[in-house]
Structure 1
């Protein structure tokens, strides 16, 4: 789809990762009067920021940099040299990486493909494993921190990440690429562009496959990507582009963050001190019929999310243009985990001496169960939680240039989404079946059909959903209707450019629980399978201005306010059919000022920002609670009334003293904290309310506590990087990057802030760390200069630094563990972690964490023709 054209791409900024050329800067400054408004118009629906024009903080990465430096890293990690961005591998499974911008997680960052939002419409989440193919087809990747320039009614609280894919009318040619790396990483791809014919037709095609494992134990994966674009430009007024892309994949995971003590205890080279960074507690071994020991994952993910887009750009006349995008996405897939108990034991009761599941014992215990007489959930199985959806939408944007200085645009963004959420059996673990009583419309029944997560769906129209008789555990659907309109006015004259934008939207949510009996009673209220739609109105307004003082200096400012509708699980909390009685929109206000400097050899940007987020609602899952009676249980917490402050300073710059040397630098400092207290309600995994030990009620004492993540991810408040690129001869690039992460705070654990003393201790601060990456690329040109080979290699974490990238808990040195270091002997003397010597780099070893990868590498060979 031709969502962008060449005139826009040449104006795209290149800030922290490449040079901004002086000739282009001068040209921007001396544009003729008739071109003033053309330079500031945010064309079509892509809304790409332009240097010294659009008043937002932005950084851009081009396709060549993705190909050269990404290797076998997670897709978001290419952004780690961008101010206020923190991307990690999280648990370490393929595509499981996490992303935060200015302290906000991906569910509150607008992730877009060609200007089309792709955040899940029920919860705002983005799973990058569904989008790994973007690394092959992206022509430009732009990060806009803060409000961003998108006109759509989306709450880009932390920022906007926009992937612009290749269009059908690219230059004729093709590429064959081979990549290899650590842990049997193998990637092959082929791409070809036909170029534009005399009749206006063009097409582009790409197909890739990669497989192997990651640095972590038992994280095998297989992933494909395909891309097809067909373009037709019958005349200068009309341009049509059709695009189809998807990245079907399956991968074994590590979703539970082990304790630091277990990383040490299960180190094959046990010395009582060193952690085994590759340790994965989510898999085990069984003995097959031939007597072989075979690995089996309890946690895996699989998904296929094809996206089809049809774009029509209609240039009505020299002043007016209409851009329309129709799109469709039918995602199919889910994730696995365990369900049920056998003999009263769950998965963690079957660990062997190496910290892995003893599947032989599980199989034997399951085989001994008589399902005819046993109760529901009396076998221990691997279930697959399905999260599929059908998504349809239309984006339309009309632009009109009033005169040389004024331009306005109006448009609409309308969507329909239906999500399917249920469980099926993935592996019976030796049992004859699983007895389920969750469906209250049916008597308890035995289900035995299994679904193999490694059988990928290639059907671009969505594939098959499991019939209701195979569904266990739960079965609920989410239906979302989204209607929105937006308008923007822009002004540009001489050195001044400005915009004012506003949007309104209505989001209607309906929850459908297929296991609920119509007319049943819940908490004194009558509930039905369908809740009916709950309509929520929201809006935003934002504006900004940029002033070019001269060809070297510019300043800008922006501010905005969002009234953001909450997500579906906020509307219907506790996974039930009742509407939240405290439902309210979240209020976000943000302001930013910036300065830019441009010269022939040096470019730099400095930004200062402040964002306030009020009435935030948060569900914190995967928690372990200590109850009032001293026992423990697992479950989740729902927190409402949160106010967060995110403020900070950012710098990025590029210095190019010669044509052979380029230096890139970045520094960001943030201060992210909670303002005031909040309210919390905690539940076990069966949705039953629980009372926590030491709880003084449902108040959560958060005032002045540093902001932590909401799952297993952590949030840094200081980052820096320094990169060096040397070009000693033509077509040879040698590069290295130093990166620093500091003021890194653990996930907020709702169960630890139920009293003032916990508030005073705050969130656990993790050790700072430094990482070094190096690489090179070299082109070998053939006699025909248009044909060439490229070889390249990258080494990540060159010095094999041991560091913690994410933590799920806040356990302190003066806390008292229940057991000693062996995990079995009770702490009868009631000693603290510090007294027991259960410490690692100043951290109590009872903390659950993810260690970053050690040294890894990737190499590529490609041929362009």
Structure 2
């Protein structure tokens, strides 16, 4: 790659952190791509990586590739050709996809929009259903694996994903786009940019709607997206950009991973193969006309508008100040069941098709006199609300000392208030629901319903349920975050280096509205029991250097240490007001070496890394607990004292064989495992302690040398590979195909499995997937106007594969069987058992199968 001049390099560094830039698509026009990114992003706080400059492992995807190839897939799936990245559809509901990088899930990956962190401030989670609109407005998507180049005090343990949206002053023009696909997928969008006026004003906006269902049963959804940007540049010193974007949506879900047995049992073809579409989280009710109406037990609805005001001030030739003010008011939640009827829960009402029999549920509920019965005597659908108000300011001052040295200092300050409670979403035929936890209700019966399909478009507020309509629990989380950071950079044409550090204070407070503490409660009186703020100080220090040996070869290294504050639910574990007595910061040490190779024909990178993560606390969700009486219940486990090692090797490259043919490839190998044992405590989905078989709530978990799996029905692969080709046989026609391999896949760590020594995480079968697509432009006489026709087929050969596993039930051996007068000899039993295995797996394991063959097509008009 041709080097930028020293003058250009230093100018770019005034508004960006030094960086390492590598494009996953075409290598042509390499030099101009840095310029393109500088033109379309909001500068100053984004910390974009540049090739042969910043010593980090990085991959970058442009908007054209997202629009051309994403189709009706999940937004993170566009990253599956990136080394050490595994993006799946998880349960399969719209926007429910999971993301893993270097063995770390999204809560430990810093997800950012224009350099602004968007991970939930209580738990670090990122729900991509809230960000579906980004696929339409992202100009550049950059992935920095490992510690990354961001100066902020963020937990980029696995890496950083930064969505860089287009700015208001893009070139004048617009686009109308229509997309169709399998399962009634329909998406329409319209976008327009005014261009910059003579007075320095510019606007850009987009609106879109998509609806349909995914590949799985009863997965209907509806999503809207809007984006508006207003820019004003009165002179060369000041540049102001305002942006607001949101994607209000609702979607029916599949959150429970069925057993392999049930995928096969409930296949209507009864041919011994699994029905990959099977969803056990819904059922049918017969209406007065005899029609079967589908009802979802598990659904999600949310609206998370984000507003940002960015001000770039060129104070003089050497100094710049960039400041972002932002706010986000998220409203919504997810549904599930609560209570029981006749002592029976939802799992006792399955019909012969493996779905809920709502006729029986409605009839059983209707027979209950709620006022005369005990608490939780009806079986209803509840909505667990997880809303928030979030405000922040991010400011970065950068100064050019001389031609080689630059420094920057800044602050990242935030305030967050989260609302967490339950309301009734559907009474399932009952006259009400009696609650025993909310002392603000008399006589403790709730009949008010909250429609989860009612989308909130209000960016400034939205509804919060009154206290007397809340059930189950009602607690708020308050977070104060303030931090300072600094960075010193050195750069020449040959050598670039940086050292940076940050310190932050996270202050957590829990407010429980249902805690009584001996107080006499009157109807509609709010109990506002505050825990008081708990301050946690953390810091990180990191540095690195890149050396350009010549025009072809470069090497880099980075190293860093994080003292990371734990998440909110480890400060107040078990959903109580008591601060964790063993609370401690998590310690993360990471080091990386990299090599780059650049020629006109071939661009390639090799990285070697190791990350050590100690004193980790985590919550394993989506588990099934076996109780003392042998019955089961869904819930989670809180696990403390965890230490993990993540290490591996990565390769990625692009080879331009001819002007019309290009190959892209990557390979990653990892070794992720636990070091030492840990402790787990068990709870149900309504936060009640669970006494599991063995008569205890807390267990020692024998995790030493166990391979790392996910935390929420997600799996983690430790080997991935990809090979793609792009063919351009004629002008404006692109034909592209991709092969993806996923191996060494380990299922979620089911805490109950590791209460005994000697167990290992369940290893799922390796799999290969192929995608194929094409795109063709039809140009009109006006060069700025053209139609684009595109089509994609995903999982071209309809491969059946398991993408995620939720349990760790090992396959039995002959030694596990004994001779029996009724069941036969041990060998006979073992042979019969082997006949039930699915690709070597015990069929009682709970899993999510990946989607079969799906497709999408688009037609767009640019003008």
Residue in 1 that maps onto 2:524? none
Secondary structure at the counterpart of residue 363 of structure 2: helix
Moved more, 9-18 or 774-783: 9-18
Equivalent residue number for residue 165 of structure 2: 165
Which range moved further: 830-839 or 357-366?
A: 830-839
The alignment of Structure 1 onto Structure 2 pairs a total of residues equal to 835
The superposition leaves residues 27-66 of structure 1 with CA deviations (integer Å, 9 ceiling, x where unpaired) of 99xx9xxxxxx99xx9611000000001000000000000
User: Does structure 2 conserve the Cα–Cα contact (< 8 Å) formed by 1:815 and 1:833?
Assistant: no
Report the 3-state secondary structure (helix = DSSP H, G, I; strand = E; otherwise coil) of the residue aligned with 1:135: helix
* Larger CA deviation: 680-689 vs 743-752: 680-689
- Secondary structure of the 1:90 match is coil
Normalising by structure 2, what TM-score? 0.93
Aligned ranges 1:181-196 → 2 under 5 Å: 181-196=181-196
- Per the alignment, residue 808 of structure 1 pairs with 806
SS class of match (1:394) = strand
- Whether 1:15 and 2:15 are equivalent positions in the alignment is no
Give the Cα separation in 1 of the matches to 2:773 and 2:230. Answer: 35
Residue of structure 2 equivalent to 1:708: 709
User: Does 1:781 pair with 2:771?
Assistant: no
Could you list the runs of 5+ residues in structure 2 that have no partner in the other structure?
Answer: 1-10, 521-526, 817-821
Answer whether contact 2:199 2:234 (CA < 8 A) is retained. Answer: yes
1:410-450 Cα deviation digits (max 9, x unpaired): 00000000000111111111111111111145555111110
Deviation at 1:173, TM superposition (A): 0.2
Deviates more, 1:854-863 or 1:833-842: 833-842
Q: Is the 8 A contact 2:18 2:47 kept in 1?
A: no
- Equivalences for residues 162-561 of structure 1 within 5 A: 162-271=162-271, 273-440=272-439, 442-518=441-517, 529-561=529-561
The within-5 A match list for 1:719-734 is: 719-734=720-735
Q: What SS does the aligned partner of 2:228 have?
A: strand
In the alignment, what sits opposite 1:35? none
Residues 838 and 23 of structure 1: CA distance in aligned 2, closer, same or farther (over 3 Å): closer
Contact 1:620 1:637 in 2 (8 A): yes
CA deviation after TM superposition for structure 1 residue 636, in Å: 2.3
1:691–1:342 Cα change, 3 Å: closer
Partner of 2:638: 638
Q: Contact 2:20–2:56 at 8 Å: present in 1 too?
A: no
**Are the structure 2 counterparts of residues 8 and 829 from structure 1 closer, same or farther at C-alpha, using a change threshold of 3 Å?**
farther
Distance 2:681 2:761 in 1: 20
Instruction: Tell me the C-alpha RMSD between the 2 structures.
Output: 2.6
Distance in 2, Cα, partners of 1:512 & 1:557 = 45
Q: CA deviation at 1:632?
A: 4.0
Residue by residue, what CA displacement relative to the aligned partner does 1:55-80 show, whole Å, maximum 9, x if unpaired?
A: 00000000000010000000000000
TM-score (norm 1): 0.93
Equivalent residue for 1:24, pick from 26, 31, 35: 31
| SS class of match (1:532) | coil
Runs of 5+ in structure 1 lacking a partner?
32-37, 522-526, 819-825
Decide whether the 8 Å contact of 1:626 with 1:693 is kept in 2.
no
Distance 1:319 1:10, change over 3 A: closer
Structure 2 equivalent of residue 823 of structure 1: none
Shift of 1:531: 0.4
SS at match of 2:464: coil
The residue number in structure 2 matching 1:835 is 833
Q: Distance in 1 between matches of 2:47 and 2:160?
A: 10
Q: Matches of 2:68 and 2:142 in 1, distance apart?
A: 17
Report how far residue 699 of structure 1 moved.
Answer: 1.9
* Cα deviation code 1:723-742 (max 9, x no counterpart): 00000111110000000000
- Residues 422 and 19 (structure 1 numbering): CA distance in 2 closer, same or farther, change over 3 Å? same
Q: State the Cα distance separating 1:495 from its structure 2 match.
A: 0.2
Q: Is 1:849 the equivalent of 2:847? A: yes
Contact map agreement 1:12 1:50 (CA 8 A) in 2: yes
2-side partners of 1:205 and 1:352: how far apart?
A: 48
Q: What is the deviation of 1:827?
A: 9.1
Would the alpha carbon gap of residues 9 and 726 (structure 1) be closer, same or farther in structure 2, given more than 3 Å must change?
farther
Q: Deviations over 1:303-356 (max 9, x none)?
A: 000000001000000100000000000000000111110111111111000000
Kept in 2, the 8 Å contact 1:441–1:517? The answer is no
CA displacement, residues 96-121 of structure 1 (integer Å, 9 cap, x when unaligned): 00000000000000000000000000
Aligned-partner SS, 2:688:
coil
Match of 2:5 in 1: none
CA contact (8 A) 2:16 2:45 kept: no
Q: CA deviation at 1:643?
A: 0.5
2:529 alignment partner, SS class:
coil
Q: How far off its partner does 1:639 sit?
A: 1.1
Q: Conserved in 2, the CA contact under 8 Å of 1:518 and 1:528? A: no
User: CA separation of 1:279/1:815 partners in 2, compared to 1, >3 Å: closer, same or farther?
Assistant: farther
CA drift of 1:693 comes to 3.6
User: Which residue number corresponds to residue 791 of structure 1?
Assistant: 789
Show CA shifts across 1:462-504 (max 9, x none). Answer: 2111111111111110000001000000001230000000000
2:862 is the alignment partner of 1:864: yes
Deviation track 1:766-805 (CA, whole Å, cap 9, x = no partner) reads 0000000000001000001111000000000000000000
- 1:49 aligns with 49
Match of 2:689 in 1: 688
